Structure 1
């Protein structure tokens, strides 16, 4: 099988890093096209031996990108096209059909109740999404919660497959020596109790909740924010105005898998934490929470379908927190009062092993390639 993955961008983000990890576990070679922003994950993919093409798309309405993408798909002779993220799903599915590829799979990484990848879910966004969805053979939801949202939108249930995000359990397994090295590298006091948070620094993640919670906790509590994004300057200002700037560390974007960049990678940073907190009220999966569990951390979260879709006993170290800074401060204090616990990996994290997710995706691919050509064609394009 020869497959092409089409993604909107390749900066450091959850969907982008998930694609890189996935390609390491698929049993055949794949190429990647990024419509925009060939960032750090693109460099990592190239280091992994993946051919990455930057389409140079100028914006959402750059219609000239469509024939360029269709031509690339046609000349590549691909058996299957897999699209990721909203813009890539719209353009990628249509380009694949124009190029004559019928085995089209899309993964819905970021569909919330009210937003998708930070964009408001208007009637126009939904209509365009559903029109392009009909051109594919399957839409992959990263959680049963996302599958339910897709059904509510109008995607037929038989076209939806649940394949959760996966994590590399070996990479996140706790290493006490790594913990000491990373904390020294970050300049953390030996007695610091480190609250970690992972994700794009955007308004929707609500990391300011944790900064304000820090003001209600003793001075030996520190906040480690792992990620980059447009809200970094706002969060730095919030920490300064709250008087806790000296206890908030910003690491910038950190890779999920080693890419040779300076600074600790994400698993090293989770090893340095004592607790992981995720105040985002609307998640499609909650990858950061699962990564925290894989590192053996207690976790506090506002929304995490990955955990909520499993029996409670599989993630006994995970606790849902409803509310703002006061509630998170109280939950953090209670977690610390319970004392340190063994840094073991719970069943919930094992449920999301990347090898398991890759095997389930291979089943989706096989069904898409084997299916007869009965799905509707774009206007003017033959389905023969």
Structure 2
């Protein structure tokens, strides 16, 4: 059985609870899509399983279900869930989610993603699940958004937080934004992490991927990793690549989410999704993330662990990856000119690339272990159980 080594106090710190769980727990992680379960939460699901618990992944079904189940996790589909918002569809999804939760007899419901975070916290409390915990992976309104949007998003998150037992935040700025709505001592910043055993420099993979892409040893390869959507900065990446065409090769690795794309003059090669991501990161000479919104950039952490020099946008969720000029370069979001200037610096300065790549890897090894984040989640469940005297 799992020995809970940490316990959250009313001030949000942790201390030993002084006991061991008496039985395996039934833990469900709820996300909008199966991709989030497979790509973002795989390590956390694995840690739960290794602790001896019965783990369920709940999401809309898709092509990642097989990868989720390969971990040893039971997948329960909620077909009505989707990323887009619509009153009728969301009411239907909420009703379907309630039916699913009532049939699972859970001890813990851990919610993720914007919409399922809101719906799941409310549904979990309505279904009487003993422990409901939410992780904020990034507020879905940015500081520069309209007042109407910010009031709606922050208000909805504040209301939903009242239905959970504990709120976990990947970055301190999001916690600070919602501070007035959060219950005292019922939230903490946990950061984010990746599988450090998997993500590390891969010289053989680098050579193989560059050969597949036809990139010569004397060429600089600049790449982005992520879904092809506007908020990931595709427009700025394309503009930067066009401005620097001939000085480097440019590639975007990730699935097309079906959004309309700006015209591209051929400067960027879009290669779709790949699973050999350690090799892909290692193949890059410069990693770029021009995103407008992040909770705590996983791609940034993965690139850092692989020792890549990086250019990220100066937003919450990217600033946490490292300090500008020390671990990476930060540029304003939605600023193609600034992005172009920063990437050009790295193209022209191999010593800067080497220094930033080395310091980024050192920071990743010290700060980005997802097993630590998963252990904090387990400690949070134990803390809530103790506070409620659940007798686990």
TM-score band, normalised by shorter chain: 0.7 to 0.9
Alignment of 1:230-245 (within 5 A): 230=257, 234-235=261-262, 237=263, 239-240=264-265, 245=266
Deviation at 1:197, TM superposition (A): 1.0
Task: Check if 1:32 corresponds to 2:54.
Answer: no
Moved more, 207-216 or 174-183: 207-216
Secondary structure at the residue paired with 1:32? strand
Q: Find out whether 1:10 has 2:34 as its counterpart.
A: yes
1:149 matched to 2:169? The reply is no
Q: Which runs of 5+ in 1 are unaligned?
A: 256-264, 375-384
**Residue 294 of structure 1: aligned partner:** 305
SS at match of 1:52: strand
SS at match of 2:223: strand
Aligned to 1:341: 354
| Cα distance, 1:122 vs structure 2 | 4.9
What residue is the counterpart of 1:250 in the other structure? 270
The residue correspondences of 1:103-114 to structure 2 (distance < 5 A) are 103-114=131-142
TM-score (norm 2): 0.80
Partner of residue 316, structure 1: 326
CA distances 1:248-267 after superposition (whole Å, capped 9, x unpaired) = 22122344xxxxxxxxx222
Summarize the Cα distance change of 1:202–1:157 in structure 2 as closer, same or farther, 3 Å threshold.
farther
Pair 1:366-2:372 in alignment: no
**1:65-107 deviation digits (Å, cap 9, x = unpaired):** 4454334333322111111122212322222223221310011
In structure 2, the residue corresponding to 1:151 is in which secondary structure?
A: coil
Cα separation, 1, equivalents of 2:234 and 2:175 = 27
Superposed displacement of residue 272, structure 1: 0.8
Pick the aligned partner of 1:276 from 287, 311, 327. 287
* SS of match in other structure, 1:53: strand
Alignment of 1:129-168 (within 5 A): 129-151=157-179, 154-168=181-195
Paired residue total: 350
- What is the rounded CA distance, in whole Å, between the counterparts of 1:58 and 1:302 in structure 2? 30
1:222 aligns with 2:238: no
Paired residues of 2:137 and 2:294 also in contact (CA < 8 A): no
1:311/1:326 CA distance change after superposition, 3 Å: closer
Deviation at 1:150, TM superposition (A): 2.3
More divergent stretch after superposition (188-197 vs 134-143) = 188-197
- Match of residue 340 from structure 2: 329
How far the C-alpha of 1:224 sits from its partner, in A, is 1.6
DSSP 3-state at the match of 1:356:
helix
Partner of 2:293, secondary structure, is coil
Compared with structure 1, are the counterparts of its residues 92 and 373 closer, same or farther at alpha carbon in structure 2 (3 Å cutoff)? farther
Alpha-carbon shift at residue 311 of structure 1 (Å) = 7.4
Residue 309 of structure 1 and its aligned partner are, at CA, apart by 4.4
Using the TM superposition, give the Cα deviation of residue 187 of structure 1 relative to its aligned residue in structure 2, in angstroms. Answer: 2.6
Q: Select 1:56's aligned residue among 59, 79, 86.
A: 79
Query: Contact between 1:284 and 1:304, CA under 8 Å: does it hold in 2?
Result: no
Inter-partner Cα distance in structure 1 for 2:119 and 2:140:
21
- In the alignment, is the contact (CA less than 8 A) between 1:105 and 1:368 conserved in 2? no
Q: What secondary structure does 1:283 align onto? A: coil
Tell me whether 1:43 sits opposite 2:46 in the alignment. no
RMSD of the TM alignment (CA)?
2.9
Unaligned stretches of 5+ residues in structure 2: 1-24
* 8 Å Cα contact 2:78/2:97 also seen in 1: yes
Query: Is residue 115–residue 121 contact of structure 1 (8 Å, CA) maintained in 2?
Result: no
Asked if the contact 1:145–1:309 (Cα under 8 Å) also holds between the matched residues in 2, the reply is no
- The question of whether the paired residues in 1 share the 8 Å contact of 2:199 and 2:306 is answered with yes
The structural deviation recorded for 1:371 is 2.3
Q: Distance in 2 between matches of 1:132 and 1:327?
A: 38
Instruction: After TM superposition, give the deviation of residue 203 of structure 1 in Å.
Output: 1.2
Q: Is the 8 A contact 2:125 2:163 kept in 1?
A: yes
Of 212-221 and 179-188, more deviation after overlay is shown by: 212-221
Q: Specify whether residues 87 and 47 from structure 1 end up closer, same or farther in structure 2 by C-alpha distance, changes over 3 A only.
A: same
Q: Is the 8 A contact 2:38 2:67 kept in 1?
A: no
State the TM-score, normalized to the length of structure 1. Answer: 0.81
Q: 1:73 aligns with which of 101, 107, 114?
A: 101
